[in-house]
Amino acid sequence: MTGGAIGVVQIAEGCLGSCRYCITRQARERLRSQPEDVISATVRMLVKQGAREVQLTAQDVASWGIDRGQCLRDLLSRLLDLPGSFRLRLGMMNPRTLLPIIDDLIPLLSHPKMYQFVHVPFQSGSDEILTAMDRRYTKE
């Protein structure tokens, strides 16, 4: 736990992106998602230790499972079924990996164990700049 009643679980490390300006791929390498069972056991342990908030973190939370043929929706559904009085908070999600799963994610955000909070780093409001950065999404 990080302090008091907050637990942090790193669900993945690395990145699927290839943004021109970013060093994450070199520093963290390709995406490596934690197995669903490991994440579930960690959340269960944190809740047992008194965590009331569990923060799911990664360089890009929305990309969890892509390297394993899985989807963030499935992980969240499993975690939301765990017993206990706690809430999940999602970490940063990049637009490129969030947009394909957003329709599956939105209904889960209304679950009583979910914080209705999404951190999306829009890097620019200019399509020209986004293209130069190789962000692979547009301002729209």
- Chain center to CA of 95: 12
Tokens representing residue 139 in the block: 């301002």
The pLDDT of residue 126: 67
* pLDDT in the model for residue 113: 98
- Per CATH, the number for 6-133 is 3.80.30.20
**pTM for the full predicted model:** 0.83
137 in helix, strand or coil?
Answer: coil
Residue 106 has a pLDDT of 95
- DSSP single-letter state for residue 13: E
pLDDT in tens, 80-95: 999 999 999 999 998 8
Extents of the domains making up the chain: 6-133
Encoded tokens for 104: 């599956």
Which whole-number Å values give the CA distances from 76 to 43, 98, 101, 110, 111, in the listed order? 11, 14, 12, 12, 10
Instruction: Write out pLDDT tens, residues 108-138.
Output: 999 999 999 888 776 666 677 666 666 666 6
Q: Which of 119, 115, 31, 121 is nearest to 80 (CA)?
A: 115
Instruction: Pick 24 or 12 by higher pLDDT.
Output: 12
pLDDT at 6: 95
